[in-house]
Amino acid sequence: MEFKHQATVTLAEVAEAAGVGESTVSRVLRNHGSFSGRTRERVMAAVERLGYVPNRIAGTLASTGSRLVAFVIPSLSNIVFPDVLRGASAVLEENRYQAVFSVTDYDPGQEEALAAAMLAWRPAAVMLAGYEHTEGTVKMLRASGCRVVELLDLDGDALDIAVGFSNRAAGRESATFLLERGYRRIGYVGHDLNRDTRAGKRFSSFCATLAARDAPLVGREIVAGASSVENGRLGLQRLLARISDLDAVYFSNDDMALGGYFHCLAEGIAVPSKLAIFGYNGLDIGRAMPQPLSTIRTPRVATGKIAAQLVVANAPPQTVDLGFELIEGATA
Amino acid sequence: MEFKHQATVTLAEVAEAAGVGESTVSRVLRNHGSFSGRTRERVMAAVERLGYVPNRIAGTLASTGSRLVAFVIPSLSNIVFPDVLRGASAVLEENRYQAVFSVTDYDPGQEEALAAAMLAWRPAAVMLAGYEHTEGTVKMLRASGCRVVELLDLDGDALDIAVGFSNRAAGRESATFLLERGYRRIGYVGHDLNRDTRAGKRFSSFCATLAARDAPLVGREIVAGASSVENGRLGLQRLLARISDLDAVYFSNDDMALGGYFHCLAEGIAVPSKLAIFGYNGLDIGRAMPQPLSTIRTPRVATGKIAAQLVVANAPPQTVDLGFELIEGATA
DNA sequence: GATTTTTTTGGCAGCGCTACCAATTTGCTG
DNA sequence: CAGCAAATTGGTAGCGCTGCCAAAAAAATC
């Protein structure tokens, strides 16, 4: 029960204390190979007595595969990524895998640097957002031999495993929904599209669908900085200042849409009769609004979960489409 | 179907290819010790040519200190923790440290298990939320010899480093603010207090302050499950169904408060004239509401940032109070 | 009781790297 | 150019663990 105030109890010391060989201790601790019940007890007693904590660094070096899973994500501000991590971490913890992460801030160059740093830990898998990577990143990942999982995007070619849904389809369905509801003068409020390429895909496919149905996008407002409620409110305000006769606005995501909704509330703009609002992500918050938000619900947690399960199972290369769900809501 | 790591290039192979010794390559790569410019070039050329990626597992085992920092956090749904991670990850990346994390789901037993798993990676530091840990966790951490950082709580005794602010003070100031505004019939809507002990500290100190000023809490509603906008809305609805003449409600955080605000909007309850609303966290979303949310803004990102800086600098044990800011807003 | 089979066990060579030390080369001084 | 200090460089012993193999012990068989 007593832990020694030493950071340095080693397997060899446990073996010594238990009066058995090192490999026997290793076998007992990993519950791998065979050993007698009596040996097990003696080893466990010594472990307990010395407060031994196995050294996974050494263990990983000595054995073939690691149990690290590396996440290289664009952001932690955008709820999407914490949600993915959440879905994945439960599965990983159950299977005694360890999650490691770093944040690229939507910068492909940074992604490359961080992916390289990650590979130095020899992870079992690297999880990345989407398909847009630098040539260098792709080359490194290919050469590394470790599993690669691309998340939240299916519009492109997968390196290995891909889990998510089509952003293009999401953009298309959003446009179709608005058109079918009779909206014709449609605008867009979004954040930086060059950085968030998935939002860019939604937008371009949204526009293409509108154009194909003879109701091309009337106007757009791209705010600087990350998506946020404040930026959504600001963006809508600016857009309406330029083009006052819109009948619907498509937002780059729910945070932005909520900001737009707040703007309407504050300005007394009736939603959806005067102006319809449509979001993306299907956050919990949208359901609690006085008028439920019309949006597309994406399987963020499930994406993380499935991705982790495939890695743990060392599944063959594949692309898993988890789809999404259009929520009619009351704002469009 | 099995997929194996392919054979990777080792430092020895680079040394061979560059025609130098292993230790020379190691020195060049870590930019540590001395070597000539010509040697540097030859080594770098070989690294480039072979696509060498150093093995940090081996490096860490061979050297004394690791550059891993372990986060053991209660949740990823509560924005607080992604914010802390965000603040920390920027600093860690700059200093070539690697963040590792796992999620306890507010379960102290799970925290102990995950902390043990973390220590197996011999991190430079373990970052935990608050002061409430099992005896086993504390013993382990003490024995591990690695730095321990306790985050987001200062009401208790620190093990080593603590960074955050006082939740008790936050609860007290919230109460004082409401009382000074003249509210006397005050209620509370919160999520599970036994699990989220920091919310519990705010609440108990809030209540004590009210009681000391002869305006004890009139009623409370604790919803099952995690804090969320939906639960806030539901909680307020239930509380008002029981006690209709409240003049102010304190929420366990901004998400819950926003839900309450939505309930008022939907039910036509005037805020703050009929019912005042007060939150906690100071999320960006509160500023964008038609009426800015009255709340307390906490330094979440800064907490992560400072914590990481102290670890990187291997600072002596200390407690850093980052304070918080009361936002008057327009809802109370 | 002797022999074969099965189960347990310990020894030890690495895993890929860093730290230390000694050897070598280079640069300077007088 | 000897003589010494400084800058480079390579060799090698681990870091703590796992995987392999052979030895020892226990169980089963005739």
Q: Could you report the per-residue pLDDT of A172-224, keeping only the tens digit for each?
A: 999 999 999 999 999 999 998 888 999 999 999 999 999 999 999 999 999 99
Write down the pLDDT at residue B194: 83
Strand C nucleotides, any atom under 7 Å to a protein CB: 7-12, 14-21
Pair of tokens at residue B165: 């602010």
Judge if A116 and A96 occupy the same domain. yes
| Helical ranges in chain B per DSSP H | 11-18, 22-30, 37-50, 56-62, 80-94, 108-119, 135-144, 167-180, 197-212, 229-242, 254-267, 284-288, 300-312
Task: Read off the pLDDT band of A7 (50, 70, 90).
Answer: low
Residue B128's φ and ψ, nearest 5 degrees, are -125, 160
Which residue on chain B is closest to A124 by alpha carbon?
B5
Q: What is the pLDDT of residue B79?
A: 93
Contact call for residues A100 and A121 (beta carbons, < 8 A): yes
Q: Is residue A63 in some structural domain?
A: no
Domain identity same for A23 and A123 = no
Note the pLDDT of residue B7.
59
Whether residues A157 and A305 share a domain: the answer is: yes
Write out the two tokens for B99.
Answer: 């963040």
Q: Do residues A204 and A220 share a domain?
A: yes
Residues with CB under 7 A from strand D: A 8, 10-12, 22-23, 26, 29-30, 32, 52, 54-55, 58-59, 61-64; B 19-24, 27, 33-36, 38-39, 58, 61-62
Has residue B63 been placed in a domain?
Answer: no
Contacts of A86 (CB under 8 A, 6+ apart): A301, A304, B76, B77, B103
**What residues in A contact B134, CB-CB < 8 Å?**
none
> How confident is the model over A31-84, as pLDDT tens digits?
999 999 999 999 999 999 999 999 999 999 999 889 999 999 999 999 999 999
d(CA B140, CA B102): 17
- B265 and A262 in contact by Cβ < 8 A? no
Residue B64 confidence (pLDDT): 81
Of B48, B31, B17, the closest CA to residue A136 belongs to B48
Three-state DSSP class for B45? helix
User: Cβ(A312)–Cβ(A284) under 8 Å?
Assistant: no
In a domain, residue B75? The reply is: yes
In a domain? residue A285: yes
Mutation for testing the A interface, residue in B98, B227, B237 having most A CBs under 10 Å = B98
The span from the CA of B232 to the CA of B240, in Å, is: 12
Average pLDDT over residues B140-165: 96
> How far, in Å, CA of B260 to CA of B276, rounded?
10
Whether residues B127 and B202 share a domain: the answer is no
Pair (A118, A262) in one structural domain = no
The position carrying tokens 């070989």 is B46
pLDDT digits (tens, 9 = 90+) for A297-321: 999 999 999 999 999 999 999 999 9
Give the minimum alpha-carbon distance from A323 to chain B in angstroms, rounded to a whole number. 22
Same domain for A123 and A267? no
Share of chain B above pLDDT 90, in %: 95
Could you tell me if residue A256 is inside a domain? yes
pLDDT at residue A8, as a whole number = 84
Within a domain: A246: yes
Q: Assess whether pLDDT exceeds 70 at residue B191.
A: yes
Confidence of residue B40 (pLDDT cuts 50, 70, 90): very high
CA of residue A107 to C1' of nucleotide C8, angstroms: 55
pLDDT digits (tens, 9 = 90+) for B165-185: 999 999 999 999 999 999 999
Angle formed by the axes of helices A80-94 and A300-312, nearest 10°? 30
B180 and B112 together in one domain: no
What is the distance between the alpha carbons of residues A136 and A132, in angstroms, rounded to a whole number?
A: 12
Q: Which of A76, A105, A284 should one mutate to test binding to chain B, selecting the residue with the greatest count of B CBs within 10 A?
A: A76
Q: Which residues of B52-88 are buried (b: 16+ CB within 10 A; e: fewer)?
A: bbbbbbbbbbeeeebbbbbbbbbbbbbbbbbbbbbbb
Q: What percent of chain A has pLDDT over 70?
A: 98
Q: What is the mean pLDDT of residues A77-105?
A: 96
- Residues A293 and A239 reside in one and the same domain: yes
Q: Which domain holds residue A215?
A: 167-297
Q: Mark whether B128 and B152 lie in a shared domain.
A: yes
How many folded domains does chain A comprise?
3
Domain holding B46: CATH number? 1.10.260.40
Nearest by Cα to B190 from B290, B259, B243: B259
Distance B33 CA to D2 C1' (A): 30
B315-325: average pLDDT: 97
pLDDT of A279 over the 70 cut? yes
Q: In this structure, are A229 and A192 located in the same domain? A: yes
Question: Distance of CA A23 to CAs B5, B170, B310, Å?
Answer: 25, 54, 39
Q: With pLDDT > 90 as the criterion, what percentage of chain A qualifies?
A: 95
Residue A6 — pLDDT band, cuts 50, 70, 90? very low
Q: Rounded CA gap, A203 and A192, in Å?
A: 11
B162: nearest Cα among B190, B188, B198: B198
- Asked if A273 and A332 touch (Cβ cutoff 8 Å), the reply is no
Place B8 in a pLDDT band, splitting at 50, 70 and 90.
confident
Q: How many CB atoms lie within 10 A of CB B96?
A: 11
pLDDT of residue B5: 41
Residue A4 has pLDDT above 60, yes or no: no
Q: Is A1 inside any structural domain?
A: no
| Nearby residues of B34 by Cβ (< 8 Å), 6 or more positions away | B27
- The CATH number of whichever domain residue A77 belongs to comes to 3.40.50.2300
| Predicted local confidence at residue B65, as pLDDT | 84
Whether residue B4 has pLDDT greater than 70: no
- The pLDDT of residue A5 is 37
Condensed to tens digits (0 to 9), the pLDDT of residues B252-283 reads 999 999 999 999 999 999 999 999 999 999 99
| Assigned domain for B3 exists | no
> Burial level of B183, CB count in 10 A (0-12/13-18/19+)?
buried
Q: Is B67 helix (H, G, I), strand (E, B) or coil?
A: coil
- pLDDT tens figures, A240-266: 999 999 999 999 999 999 999 999 999
At B6, the pLDDT band (50, 70, 90 cuts) reads: low
- B96 contacts in chain A (CB < 8 Å): 117
Å between CA of B34 and C1' of D4: 20
pLDDT in tens, B111-124: 999 999 999 999 99
pLDDT > 50? residue B3: no
Residues B34 and B128 in one domain: no
Beta-carbon contacts of B182 under 8 Å, excluding residues fewer than 6 positions away, are: none
